[in-house]
Chain A
Amino acid sequence: MSYLTEGFTLRSWLTTRDHKRIAVLYMIAITAFFFVGGAAAALIRLELATPAGDLVSAETYNKLFTIHGVVMVWFFLIPSIPSVLGNFLVPIMIGARDMAFPRLNLASWYIYVLGGLFTLAALIAGGVDTGWTFYTPLSTQFAEGNVILVIVGVFIVGFSSILTGLNVIVTVHRLRAPGLTWFRLPLFIWAHYATALILLLATPVLAMTLTLVALERVFGIGIFDPALGGDPLLFQHLFWFYSHPAVYIMVLPAMGVASEIIPCFARRPVFGYRFMAYAILGIATIGFLVWGHHMFVSGQSMYAGMVFSMLSFLVAIPSAIKVFNWTATLYKGSIVFTAPMLYALGFVGLFMIGGLTGLYLASLALDVHLTDTYFVIAHFHYIMVGGSVMAYLGAIHFWWPKISGRLYPEMLARIAALTIFFGFNLTFFPQYLLGWLGMPRRYHEYPPEFQVLNLLSSAGAAVLAIGYLLPLCYLGWSIFYGKKAPPNPWGATGLEWQTASPPPQHNFEDPPRVTRAPYDYA
């Protein structure tokens, strides 16, 4: 009997304390939000196909990019890998029966849904046009619309992040199987552990900041209003103190995924395991010290800019180390190009381009020209979509047999992976050029000389949309008609592959005992 057959009623799902079922609940919820955010993106790209603002009004356009950002950041990317795959896999990978706090785990899903409902309510009630960044005084004194409703939604969903983070930290500390020492942990676990630390330490700052914005908007308390002795730059410091580490919340788990998939399909141990683990901790630590690089032209002191610039170059080092090690992991391997492997290799390439272009933005004088242009848009989409979403899809495919107990059609999956890779580059590469040529972001209309590149980008978005719909179809199909999966279809080494597909309710028939290093492919 598997976790899927423990109960078939809706009630059995909605009251479950099984981390695997909660992971599935998360998967359903974030998939819905992904397509909400994706629909907003599709409308944005349609509007930008022509220079004139002809499809939607300026106000609607501003609401579209706001809702795209809010939904994709807080309701898709942040919970994506940690809450779906982390939830499903962390206990199994460390040989535990469940998370440390199963009820808290379910509560975090309900909190997520509640936050999501507030945000959707704001969307239905007419939307909000502050941008996902809620910069004051635009958000506190000037923006109309449902700012408070969205802030409440994001505030609430933050608690879901905090509880998930707490749960993962305690689980990794307390529930590891006998023999599973820290340096025998899969890198996926290291990545989730570091992510959980960031979730726990950074998210409260977001909650406080948004509370202050709401209080300022409703009561005019004067934290950010210079007429009352406040300072709008204080908001930016607080906001980015959370929102920069949030980037690592999105990308560290993706790195963890790549570190599982690449050794598996290269049939050899990951190269430089210890340095990979140290690099994860390095990113999580230095990531807290670079927020000011969002503010090089904000009016903050020139010297503060220099300190943040140098630290931003340093935070790129551990990421570079990881790219080098993934590449070295292919050396003398025996490489099979399955769909998950295509996603993982795509992740490495796109993350590398996103990371390298981040260096342009860390360079002070270059950032002055490039910040707030499409160069920044391209850069962070290479990290968050080219990086995190590619890894998320790779992970969904890699662990799909474990989650669903079914195999998906491999050829179709490879075609989808290549379609997404091509569509992604066509969408976002032209945006680097647009940014360098001086097209500002968040523009509802633009000078006509930018049309060719914008049209290419919009065409790419259409390809990307098809690419994203494909897995939705064939994975859905495979739940009912896919071939039954054996326990270990890929011949992988992690503990999750030593139990049935799908696993029983308590994960293992016999509690496992670990005697070897991870990635013991030989």
Chain B
Amino acid sequence: MTWTLPAASDIASSVDYLFYAMLALTGVVALAITLLIIFFAIRYRAGSDADRSNVPTSSRWLEYGWTLTPIAIFLGIFAWAAVVYARFYTGPADAMTIFVVGKQWMWKAEHANGRREIDELHLPLGQPVRVMLSTEDVIHSFFVPAFRIKQDAVPGRYTMIRFTPTRAGTYWLHCAEYCGTDHARMGGRVVVMAPAAFAQWLQQGDSSSLASRGGELFRQKGCSGCHAANSTVHAPDLAGIYGRVVHLNDGRTLVADEAYLRDSILLPKRDVVAGYEPVMPSFQGQLDESELAALITFLKETR
């Protein structure tokens, strides 16, 4: 029986500080109220000789005090927790991106160089990681308690969570969102390795990289027919698209990230780039999650 949970990511210790601060605060409040109730219960039990003159029935100052004090404390905790929360979703641009797909009842991971694994996830120590989550069926949730991270994988979109592993070792990977019969068995382990060992591990296997597979798909599926520089069709040039600010023809602007690229492939009518006609066909149903990941990685790397 272990009574502590390893803190194996950069964010884990921040979450733990917050937890222990909450434990101290709520512990003190709970103890104070409990002791007060017990004290009153004994002192003012029926038949005791305690002084009961001038029973107070209300006090404006007490009420304001015990309303405003918790508000102040709560807003402080809210802000603290929100700042830590933002770190799950914002961070360095050069973080290593790994595509993880949930499926009843397994986790499939794909690294940039094309190495795939199921119900395991190997990670290098000290390297910022972004996990891009998607699902082939129902909602799942990617949960690594030792990292204090959890993120749902939702049909029809990418979700993302960031962290940096800070301790080598093997940790539980669970599915935390109920997903059907074998929900409890959906999971495996996360293995955090020294960078050199990880690089070595990554080279085993002979699959081609996501970007090169994506490049092939870009031609095979006919994307290049319109999006190539010399194409006769009026379509946006995709070189260096990733991370760029995109102006849409309904006036909105957004940053081209994985979620945008995914939507543009599957739901091309949704976010049409300013100055272009909505002529692109949807590739819904023609690309699986792995092919999407390959295409998007290819687009990220075209300059």
Minimum CB–CB distance from B107 to chain A (whole Å) comes to 14
Asked if A38 is at the interface (CB within 8 A of a chain B CB), the reply is: no
* Inter-chain contacts of A371 with B (CB < 8 A): 150, 176
* Inter-chain contacts of A62 with B (CB < 8 A): 178, 180-181, 183
Which residue of the partner chain, among A129, A226, A232, A272, contacts B63 with CB atoms under 8 Å?
Answer: A272
| A352 adjacent to B30 (CB under 8 Å) | yes
Give the interface segment out of B37-45, B196-204, B235-243: B37-45
* Inter-chain contacts of A296 with B (CB < 8 A): 85
- 0/1 interface trace, chain A 376-402, chain B, CB 8 Å (1 if under): 000000000000000000000000000
A441 to B178, CA, bound (A): 8
Asked if A363 is at the interface (CB within 8 A of a chain B CB), the reply is: yes
- 0/1 interface trace, chain A 492-517, chain B, CB 8 Å (1 if under): 00000000000000000000000000
Asked if B184 is at the interface (CB within 8 A of a chain A CB), the reply is: yes
Minimum CB–CB distance from B184 to chain A (whole Å) comes to 4
Asked if B74 is at the interface (CB within 8 A of a chain A CB), the reply is: yes
Give the interface segment out of A113-121, A239-247, A302-310: A302-310
A295 to B104, CA, bound (A): 21
- 0/1 interface trace, chain B 105-144, chain A, CB 8 Å (1 if under): 0000000000000000000000000000000011101010
Given contacts A299-B154, A314-B71, contact A135 B178 (CB under 8 A): yes
- 0/1 interface trace, chain A 326-361, chain B, CB 8 Å (1 if under): 011011111111000000010011001100110110
* Inter-chain contacts of A348 with B (CB < 8 A): 37
Which residue of the partner chain, among A129, A141, A336, A368, contacts B150 with CB atoms under 8 Å?
Answer: A368
| B37 adjacent to A143 (CB under 8 Å) | no
- Which residues B142-183 have CB closer than 8 A to chain A? 143, 145-146, 148-152, 154-157, 159, 172, 174-183
- 0/1 interface trace, chain B 28-40, chain A, CB 8 Å (1 if under): 0110011011001
Minimum CB–CB distance from B243 to chain A (whole Å) comes to 18
Asked if A13 is at the interface (CB within 8 A of a chain B CB), the reply is: no
Given contacts A129-B181, A273-B57, A302-B89, contact A368 B63 (CB under 8 A): no
Asked if B14 is at the interface (CB within 8 A of a chain A CB), the reply is: yes
Number of A interface residues at 8 Å Cβ cutoff, please give it.
92
Which residue of the partner chain, among A59, A357, A369, contacts B181 with CB atoms under 8 Å?
Answer: A59
Given contacts A142-B138, A232-B155, A331-B56, contact A317 B74 (CB under 8 A): yes
- Which residues B1-32 have CB closer than 8 A to chain A? 1-3, 5, 11, 14-15, 18-19, 22, 26, 29-30
* Inter-chain contacts of B181 with A (CB < 8 A): 58-59, 62, 129
Complex A-B: 20 CB contacts under 8 Å: A53-B184, A58-B181, A58-B185, A62-B183, A227-B285, A269-B55, A272-B62, A275-B58, A299-B159, A305-B85, A330-B44, A332-B52, A334-B52, A345-B41, A357-B26, A369-B149, A372-B143, A437-B2, A441-B176, A449-B1
In the A-B complex, list the 3 residue pairs whose CB atoms are closest, starting with the nearest. Answer: A226-B156, A438-B145, A364-B85
